[in-house]
Structure 1
Amino acid sequence: MSNPLLRELDHYVVLEPGGGERILTAAETLAWLEARLAKLEPVPADLVGLSSPGLQAQRLLETACELELAPGLTIQWFAVRIEPPG
């Protein structure tokens, strides 16, 4: 079960091999995950029953923090809280 506080966070740090780290909004992170899932074959077993890449990405965002794209090639994402300046 995911922590309900994570759903309140609006930003994520995403890590890709060779790509460094980036801070994305929640919507950008979902799109980033969808794009990675679209290229992945086969989709992880726990995502097969979900009807769209958007639902699959949402499930990953709520329940995981990494996805193996190929042996030894893993992407990761972590929720972060960005405090407004002040």
Structure 2
Amino acid sequence: MSDPLIRDSDHYVVLEPGQSERLLSAADTLVWLQTWLQSLDVLPEDLQSQNSLVAAAQRLLDTACELEVGQGLCLQWFAVRLEPPGSVQG
């Protein structure tokens, strides 16, 4: 079971084959996943029951950290916290 604090993360490090790692906001990560899902010929079986690409991308963000987009090619994303919980900004 995933840590509930991960769901509170505002940023993700995303990794694509042949690209440098990038830091994206949660909203941008969701769009990034939607774009990749749209490029697939067939959605993974566990996402086919979702009623939209937005819902499928959100499910991935909530439950996984990897998506195979081609034979041996995987996307990965990892939640990161830029500021410790409860920190006060000056």
Give yes or no for TM over 0.5. Answer: yes
TM-score when scaled to structure 1? 0.93
> Residue by residue, what CA displacement relative to the aligned partner does 1:22-80 show, whole Å, maximum 9, x if unpaired?
00000000000000000012100000010100000000000000000011110100000
C-alpha separation in 2, matches of 1:3 and 1:33: 21
Partner of 2:2: 2
> Structure 1: how far apart are the matches of 2:14 and 2:43?
20
1:71 aligns with 2:71: yes
Structure 1: state its 5+ residue gaps.
none
2:47 corresponds to 1:18: no
How do 1:29-48 residues align onto structure 2 when only pairs under 5 Å count? 29-48=29-48
* Aligned-partner residue type, residue 44 of structure 1: P
After TM superposition, give the deviation of residue 3 of structure 1 in Å.
2.3
Aligned residues: 86
Query: 1:29 corresponds to which letter in structure 2?
Result: T
User: What is the SS of the residue equivalent to 1:20?
Assistant: coil
1:7 shift after superposition = 1.0
- Larger strand share, 1 or 2: 1
Given the two structures, how large is their TM-score scaled by the length of structure 2?
A: 0.89
